[in-house]
Amino acid sequence: MPALPRHSAGGAGSALSPPKLIHMYDEFITKNSGQVSQIESALRSLTYIIPGRFRDAEIASETLHSGVQLLSLYHDNLLSRAASTISRGPGIKRPPSPHTRYTRYWTQRSGLYRRIALLLQMVRYTELLVEMAANRRGGENGRWRVVVLLEFIKAVCRLLLLRITSSRPILSPSTSATSPSSVASSTKSAHEREWVMPRTGMSLPSLPTASDITSYLLSRVLTPDDIKPATKLLNQLRGSGQAAEVLHILAPLVYATCLALSKASSPEARRRAWGPWLAGFAVEYAARQLRDKGLRTTALERDEWRRRGWSMGWWAMRGPFYESVVKGVVEGVRKRVPGVIGGILEDYEYLWENYYFSTSD
């Protein structure tokens, strides 16, 4: 039997090499970003609807959720490069959001910033899964050691980002999130608005429809933030403002450490202890009071402080405040809503009562 030619075997092997497979996958994601966005949204919605539906398989459910989040993070990193390539093409294009401009600037300027920001996002996406696994393997004491370790890693990452950005507020998320649909729409609009004249070869933008003139004009209006340098989108913190940012970063670590060091005899007693809750909330509240309110804030800073203000509502879902006040309200609502919604609330109650990271910011 004649032997196969060597170049044929080598060609088949090289065609299926990991670099080529990764390149094919990246190209597929870029060209089919709209469909990828729909699939990600469907999977993410599924994990939100059934957070603890199968309590014996809660790790499997959270693994699916963390996997979707990590895959979305990879897609965002991939599509942000595609979006920057599209933005360099011809035609009038709307600048990205201030958050995207700021995070993309530091990601492209500093390799250390990019790696730390990615590590921080990966920890945030997997922290609840790691806590569940630690609870299964190491029990209550092992779980709290892991919780404190994860909060320590996140605090170190944020402090490093604070230093890299010359004491500017830490945005959440610290990476630019580029949805697949945005790249698809940018690619599509680039083809739709350009019309190539057959004789000269010049391209002209297509005119909008009569009912879409207002939105067409507004999409091309530049705001002051659109023309500011990326570093000017956030002010450098000084004095009390810098202290407030450090306290905001350390607040979750203080709360987790106090819970881990609590002398409570049982998990239920630890949840009802007011000491750790008051310590963590006091640090967070001090951070809001110490921030430099006299400084002229930018729009991006106001958005971030507004987000932090809303995130303080999670303190109502933690510890003794939840056990004493909110839990009774949730149970009353659960009894009055339809059975399906009540079942979802019951599943979330199970997570809120048993896992620290289920109510973390």
Tell me the DSSP string of 145-174.
HHHHHHHHHHHHHHHHHHHHTTSPPPPSSS
On whether residue 10 sits in a domain, the answer given is no
On whether residue 12 sits in a domain, the answer given is no
On whether residue 244 sits in a domain, the answer given is yes
Residue ranges of the chain whose pLDDT lies below 70: 1-16, 49-57, 80-95, 177-197, 200-213, 215-222, 292-295
Where in the sequence is the domain holding 228, given as residue range(s)? Answer: 18-359
φ, ψ (nearest 5 deg) of residue 203? -105, 140
On whether residue 13 sits in a domain, the answer given is no
pLDDT of residue 220: 66
Residue from 105, 62, 57, 46 nearest 80 by CA? 105
Amino acid at 312: M
On whether residue 140 sits in a domain, the answer given is yes
How many domains in the chain?
1
Consecutive H or E run containing 205: strand 203-205
On whether residue 221 sits in a domain, the answer given is yes
On whether residue 177 sits in a domain, the answer given is yes
Q: Are strands 203-205 and 194-196 parallel, antiparallel or unpaired?
A: antiparallel
Distances (CA, A) of 153 to 122, 136, 142, 147, 160: 11, 22, 17, 10, 11
pLDDT of residue 338: 83
On whether residue 348 sits in a domain, the answer given is yes
pLDDT of residue 283: 95
Q: Mean pLDDT score of the chain, rounded to an integer?
A: 80
pLDDT of residue 296: 78
Measured CA to CA, the distance from residue 320 to residue 275 in angstroms comes to: 9
**Residues 246 and 159 sit within 8 Å (Cβ to Cβ):** yes
pLDDT of residue 149: 97
pLDDT of residue 128: 92
Measured CA to CA, the distance from residue 65 to residue 229 in angstroms comes to: 36
Contacts 24+ apart (CB under 8 A), 285-290: 286/244, 286/247, 287/244, 287/245, 287/247, 287/248, 287/251, 288/244, 288/248, 288/312, 289/244, 290/240, 290/241, 290/243, 290/244, 290/247
Residue 92 DSSP class: -
φ, ψ (nearest 5 deg) of residue 134? -65, -35
pLDDT of residue 55: 55
pLDDT of residue 180: 45
If you count them, how many residues does the chain have? 361
